[in-house]
Structure 1
């Protein structure tokens, strides 16, 4: 198959480089500087099997060049959710045909946005469960291999699953996009916002009884919003999301809390979650409005109260905007807990 990737970030490099190594035609739309570096040095993908250098990719420095090199089977979008609308505008401004879009993004609102812009038959929903690190430009490390979920329903979905699986990415097909994407959102929630707000590792969040109760409450709100839409959690590749949802609703704290502390600590090690990296790395914006904030918006739509996710969203948004003092919350759970109803 022929895949064009919008950007060569961690996820694009990992998936695109793996597809290229497996013999698929792969292109990247990237800024001139990174594109030049990748053209010179190739991509480096480190997995359990070792490190592969991939040079056989095409590089484009704007959308017109890339789309004019069509026909691509699939345009893969792995951008931050807040960049989706702008990327769609840029693509549409070319006036050129846009291929079917595979969204591997976090959150549950990107596919509807793409659908509204391009048509319902032009989007495929994906969910990446594998943990990836990006130590440098054009280089990625597969930290924990789990796999990628792909929603069926598009004529190209089954072919995409086969291509990803052929590339060693562990693809699994799902009959519906909604439960799959919301289940991925459940995993993205885990300690993400609170870690950023409090500047604490996720394991420390879950080791604190009060913060643990807050995290479980946020997860219960999410499961309730899913239920209001007729969705149940589904297991993602290598990720027992159904057990997470069941545990949050049914398993006593004394049993579940130490399990989550151990699991989250072992899976992350010293690595901080994405919201923490974005906030404390000075990037000025996180995806909290597309994760916790999505729970709030969909909760409002279906009449489900979501007070904990609302506090986490508004607090982290204010910290990112500089309207709240980071030092007020650093290593200070009381400051965050005082905001809860």
Structure 2
């Protein structure tokens, strides 16, 4: 590692974290991992292997705690654990992380708001990458390369520039985002669909094709749009359309053929679906749909569909109910 090169720690090295770690390691950056369970054991025994849209094998130092890793004044911590795991992890290692840049490569805005409120050096990263752990130590990068990095809630500095330059060198589609909070709110809106896909056992491709599913998600997103307008929160969606324009697009009639053949290797499911399918016992939807529900309560805007998605998905996770327990009609009935 060169004298001025960043020392990256990927804390919560699951699927997304391992894709980012592999990319950074591919340009010979120092990358260390914090993981747990059988995945950690495999990383320590056999190294990290990433397949499909990222390919490679890397022997990276992996531990259950960052206290066993090499930390110096060039260390940048990429947080890639689920949101519900962030708070305890940071509090456990608060003395170690007190002065280090913490980059939230996570969905929602709860991580950044909590960290910034505690006085940590907080950065946001909007992640448009799909991945899953095929088996311990082996990750499939199923698609997406976009990573937008900025200081929280806005601005940028050398940490952002250095990370983006490294990601670009690793052939990820990265950029510095001076208004990263707006982009992360936009990604949160996309994540409102996660609970729906998990409860109905639909892939992203299947739900995007069927007008019944698109109509349901248009209504979910419209609740969110009304809430954000009432709260006067500015957001930026991925792509050229505004949120209202995307809602109108979802309402267009007819069956949309998926872009390309859908096979087991190309079919994409959100992490919430994976959480139910693997019986992990918890999901992140309270930080997606729940955020909209709480904002709606604060501003007097009803959010029945977001509420039922949050509540039923939390129940499914707690009861180890697999994907497929609901459909659009049953969810609409439950929201009445």
User: Do the aligned residues in 1 keep the contact of 2:224 with 2:292 (CA within 8 Å)?
Assistant: yes
- Tell me the SS of whatever aligns to 1:315: helix
Q: Once the two structures are superposed, what CA deviation does each residue of 1:65-116 show, in whole Å capped at 9, x if it has no partner?
A: 23x6323431110011111111111112x56644110000111211011112
Q: Distance in 2 between matches of 1:186 and 1:105?
A: 14
**SS state of the match for residue 330, structure 2?**
helix
Alignment of 1:1-341 (within 5 A): 1-31=6-36, 34-48=39-53, 51-55=55-59, 57-66=60-69, 69-92=71-94, 94=95, 97-119=98-120, 122-152=121-151, 153-155=155-157, 156-190=159-193, 192-202=194-204, 204-205=206-207, 210-227=212-229, 228-235=231-238, 240=239, 242=241, 245-248=244-247, 250-251=248-249, 253-255=251-253, 258-259=255-256, 262=258, 269-322=266-319, 330=325, 332-341=327-336
Shift of 1:303: 3.6
CA distance, structure 2, for counterparts of residue 89 and residue 294 of structure 1: 23
Q: TM-score, normalization: structure 2?
A: 0.84
Shift of the alpha carbon at 1:252?
7.6
Structure 1: state its 5+ residue gaps.
none
CA distance in 1 between partners of 2:208 and 2:51 (Å) = 31
SS at structure 2 position matched to 1:129: strand
Is contact 2:142-2:268 (8 Å) kept? no
Shift of 1:170: 1.4
Q: What is the distance in 1 between the residues matched to 2:207 and 2:272?
A: 14
What do the CA deviations read for 1:135-178 (whole angstroms, capped 9, x no partner)? 12232232223311112424211221112111222112222122
For 1:234 and 1:334, how far apart are their aligned partners in 2? 28
Aligned length: 325
TM superposition shift of 1:245: 4.3
In structure 2, runs of 5+ residues without a counterpart are 1-5
